[in-house]
Structure 1
């Protein structure tokens, strides 16, 4: 009888830990996912320009160090203004000063078309 009680206590403790780890918003898996989501969102706000955003471009496409950083359009760092954001095989308009294409995780490419500031 004591063995059964100990077995149920151990199983109950494991079940409680698994449920708490996966659902507790202040720790465990939920906190890890929230942290990862917040980091990705912060990165996108800083490095994923939308139409109208001004950017500073550093690095090179050749060695995979290219990085677009959103800056204020009145900043001395602003090099380009985002004119279009295209997906797939779409081409930028002829008056584009610079185009940057990056391939995403699922083989869908994104092309940013920039004009000068």
Structure 2
């Protein structure tokens, strides 16, 4: 009897784990893993690194940089420097600056030159 109860507990745990893995990766709504990848891709597309080219959505309102290929017609600016700190200014060699906070890193200013 004890063996049967132990076996039932093991089967229930394995079944629950299998269902979690299945649901995480293949649920009809796209799966949690796909949603996490999509959110990560969105963050990566809007979090440029030095040397990346970007196009800027709403440059005079709430600017949002989107990383694009430097050879594309969409490329407007190239990121030259990231100045840490809130309300920092870009040097005179830069054409455009954005005060930026991506939610995971601290506040900083993105400094761009025209492409």
CA RMSD in angstroms, aligned pairs only: 3.2
Cα 1:51–1:106 shift into 2, 3 Å: closer
Give me the whole-angstrom Cα distance separating, in 1, the residues matched to 2:34 and 2:89. Answer: 36
Q: State how 1:18-29 maps to structure 2 within 5 Å.
A: 18-22=16-20, 24=21, 27-29=22-24
* TM-superposition CA deviations, 1:20-75 (whole Å, max 9, x none): 234x3xx223x24432332133224432211111111112563x4x3222223233
- Give 1:70's aligned residue: 67
* TM-score of the two chains, using structure 2 as the length reference: 0.65
* TM-score of the two chains, using structure 1 as the length reference: 0.64
- Runs of 4+ aligned structure 1 residues displaced above 6 Å come to 7-10
Q: State how 1:1-117 maps to structure 2 within 5 Å.
A: 14-22=12-20, 24=21, 27-29=22-24, 31=25, 32-60=31-59, 62=61, 64=62, 66-89=63-86, 90-105=88-103, 108-117=106-115
Give me the whole-angstrom Cα distance separating, in 2, the residues matched to 1:70 and 1:105. Answer: 17
Number of aligned pairs?
109
Give me the whole-angstrom Cα distance separating, in 2, the residues matched to 1:71 and 1:106. Answer: 22
Give me the whole-angstrom Cα distance separating, in 2, the residues matched to 1:106 and 1:49. Answer: 14
Structure 1: where are the runs of 5+ without partners?
Answer: 2-6
Give me the whole-angstrom Cα distance separating, in 2, the residues matched to 1:37 and 1:93. Answer: 37
Structure 2: where are the runs of 5+ without partners?
Answer: 26-30
